[in-house]
């Protein structure tokens, strides 16, 4: 078995300004992406343990798009929401699992707006088929108040967009405008 003495991890990539233009312009972006990375690792662990942890099945509610909500949807939403909130870089979060946009308290607001489906394809979870997290990040316009309007913008204004796929491996893929970058979770190094 070969061990790489100089691995390019997602964290290292995010901290390398020459690799990541948005991070070079704003270190807060790196903090937010590190929080999304943490959310994806935690959701990946929950997906792998779903059967053992009793997370299969319906929660008993219906989300804003009319889908039956799974127990794992609720958990994934909480994980993603908390990870982004505590980055202190978030000002607005829109989730498929939330009836309204989450506006962060003014004294704790960052400058980024995130749209997400924390566990897309959750109807597949009981069949052991791949699921994933989808996210898009906008930067709030300067001198504006954080509101739902902060995120209701065209896709061309995205600062970053990506997904994390949970299956036989966990892969995070994103673009911040300078190529597409993919990272695979090493569960041993986790």
91-101 pLDDT tens trace: 999 999 999 99
pLDDT score at 1: 53
Say if residue 173's pLDDT is above 60.
yes
Q: What is the mean pLDDT of residues 45-63?
A: 78
Cα angle at 22 between 119 and 131, to 5 degrees? Answer: 15
Report the mean per-residue pLDDT for the chain: 87
Residue 67 is classified by DSSP as P
The predicted model gives 105-130 an average pLDDT of 88
Query: End-to-end CA distance of the chain, in Å?
Result: 18
Using the predicted structure, report yes or no on whether residue 188 has a pLDDT greater than 70.
yes
In order, the DSSP letters of 91-153 are: EEEEETT-SSPEEPPGGG--SEEEEEEEEETGGGGGGT--EEEEEEEEEPPTT---SGGGT--
């Amino acid at each position: 078995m070969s061990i790489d003495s100089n691995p390019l991890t997602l964290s290292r990539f995010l901290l390398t300004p020459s690799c990541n233009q948005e991070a070079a312009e704003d270190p807060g972006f790196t903090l937010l992406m590190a929080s999304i990375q943490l959310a994806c690792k935690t959701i990946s662990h929950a997906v792998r343990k779903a059967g053992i942890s009793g997370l299969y099945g319906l929660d008993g509610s219906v989300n804003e798009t009319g889908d039956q909500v799974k127990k794992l949807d609720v958990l994934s939403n909480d994980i993603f929401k908390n990870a982004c909130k505590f980055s202190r870089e978030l000002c607005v979060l829109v989730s498929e699992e939330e009836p309204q946009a989450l506006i962060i308290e003014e004294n704790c607001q960052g400058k980024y707006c995130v749209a997400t489906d924390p566990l897309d394809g959750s109807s597949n979870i009981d069949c052991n088929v791949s699921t994933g997290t989808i996210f898009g990040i906008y930067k709030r316009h300067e001198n504006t108040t954080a509101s739902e309007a902060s995120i209701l913008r065209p896709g061309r204004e995205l600062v970053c967009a990506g997904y994390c796929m949970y299956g036989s491996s966990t892969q995070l893929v994103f673009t911040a405008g300078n190529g597409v970058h993919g990272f695979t979770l090493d569960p041993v190094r986790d």
